[in-house]
Amino acid sequence: MRERIEEVGFWFLIFSWVWTSANCMLSPKGVNFEVQALMGIKASLKDPHGVLDNWDGNAVDPCSWTMVTCSTESLVIGLGTPSQNLSGSLSPSIGNLTNLQIVLLQNNDITGPIPPEIVRLSKLQTLDLSNNFFSCEVPSSLANLRSLQYLRLNNNSLYGAIPESLANMTNLVFLDLSFNNLSGHVPRMPAKTFSIVGNPLICPTGSENECFGTALMPMSMPLNGSEGMGFKTSPYSPFSTGALPLGRPKSHRVALALGVTLGFICFLILLLGLLLQWRQRRNKHMFFDVKDRHHEEVSLGNLRRFQFRELQLATDNFSSKNILGKGGFGHVYKGHLRDGTAVAVKRLKDGSTVGGDRQFQTEVEMISLAVHRNLLRLYGFSMTATERLLVYPYMSNGSVASRMKGQRALEFGKAANQKGAMLDWVRKIHLEKKLDLLVDKDLKNNYDRIELEEMVQVALLCTQYLPGLRPKMSEVVRMLEGDGLAERWEASQRVESSKYKSYDLSSSERYSDLTNDSSLLVQAIELSGPR
């Protein structure tokens, strides 16, 4: 009896732990905290193009939403809405998405301050708020983001001094504070790449005693450098501490100083014009080469930019013998890089279309957001004036499309005796009560037959011919939890029976007619359509 009580107590503890884990992401009202946080962000933004329309506050989880990336544990780890013309402000509720690793909101019209709650994102690795209208001081609390590696705040309206605390961000690899209204001296930064170009109130030497309020030269400095601010002063420049040679008349000294100053200003204007022209043509800060090609985590910026000649050599000048496939957007070629890495190179048609480099870079950004263990990640890209190429890892087992479209067509009326139609076969064995054929033989009888039938019913509901008849993922979750499956299955059977009520067929003949709606007769795009 005592052993029985101990066993019951043990299983009660296990059940309590599982129940607590399952509800750790739910609010007292039973709503996912991450769903609430994302809906708060949506409420504070103006979305003219409706890119956030499928964000639903009643959803079980947000992993199917656009612009949202989840981990394998269904936790939100990525939020990216670049170049979507979003306006409004950034809600403080972003601080509740504590599992975020990537935040990409660049190239929008977002205003207001950077919410201080962002410091709660302890796992954040990439933060890009560039090319918006954020107006505030650079938050000193950003130094508490110990995992942050990429920080872009350029082209905003930030003001004030650069916080000294940013010098403590030892993991920071890239920092861009260019083209703001920052002032004061510049602390020594640990980042390997650091830009403050376009902040005219920055002190020219980094010393408070020599801050004149304005500097004639916008600056960018090398990382971990100790040679000042990236420029040298002339003995006769306004920043020189040396005295002018004695013996010259005062008027001559004034004329000389004025001439040197005007020449220096003209040189800076010319240099700044060339810099702005170069920046418009080619945004070097958009992507960075990554030496570690086997890094498991993918975030925006970790894309390799290939030289066109390198991909030419890898594919034997895009030889027809290396073609893996053809499509409406271009051909895909198999190639080998110089280190022997096998890659698939997609050569896009119409490489010089309207929009140019910026449009292509924006499209590459969007592709980079699709990060999932079951999706082939983008490895790199290349672009010239006439060519646009995407580089993926080579997969020797082919694609999902080849698996779906590569099956041979069934001979009408003989489907029961032929192999290759998985969906029809499952329908058949479900009608014949032979679902045991689906189970791995190694399991023997160690499975629940009722659960097996429920799983098959859910699968058949999700693969109905008409997309509108398929349940939503939120409904699927409820059905898997035992809520509404029987009613939904009964309703689907009434629809199916009414569809075939005019036919007086045997079981095998009726199964043959079902091949008209077979997965083999439906294009892959229909099967993967919205549910």
Q: How far is CA 268 from the centre of its chain?
A: 38
CB 127 within 8 A of CB 150: yes
Spatial contact of 91 and 41, defined as CB atoms under 8 Å apart: yes
Task: Give the 3-state secondary structure of residue 483.
Answer: coil
Q: 13 CB contacts (<8 Å, ≥6 apart)?
A: none
Q: Answer yes or no: are the C-beta atoms of 233 and 240 closer than 8 Å.
A: yes
Strand residues in 387-522 grouped as ranges (E): 388-393
Taking a C-beta distance cutoff of 8 angstroms, is the pair 463, 423 a contact?
Answer: yes
Q: How many CB atoms lie within 10 A of CB 377?
A: 15
Instruction: Decide if 127 contacts 148 (C-beta within 8 A).
Output: yes
Please check whether residue 177 is in contact with residue 160, taking contact to mean a CB–CB distance below 8 angstroms.
no
Helix (H, G, I), strand (E, B) or coil at 345: strand
What separation in angstroms does the CA of 158 have from each of 102, 103, 134, 187? 22, 19, 7, 17
Task: Fill in the DSSP letter of residue 258.
Answer: H
In whole angstroms, what is the distance from residue 302 CA to residue 293 CA?
A: 9
The angle that helices 422-431 and 449-462 make with each other, rounded to 10 degrees, is: 130
Is 112 in contact with 158 (CB distance < 8 Å)? Answer: no
CA 154 to chain centre: 20
Pairing of strands 181-184, 159-161: parallel
**Residue 346 labeled ligand binder:** yes
Beta strand spans in 92-163 (E):
102-104, 109-112, 126-128, 133-134, 150-152, 159-161
For residue 150, what are its two tokens? Answer: 């990429």
- Cα separation, 267 vs 273, in Å, equals 10
Dist CA 376 CA 79 (whole Å): 19
Facing residues of 80 across strands?
104
CA 1 vs. chain centroid, Å, equals 57
Q: What is the DSSP letter of 304?
A: E
For residue 333, the SS3 value is strand
How far separated are the first and last CA of the chain, in Å rounded? 52
In the annotated binding site for ATP, the residues are 346
Q: Which residues are annotated as a binding site?
A: 346
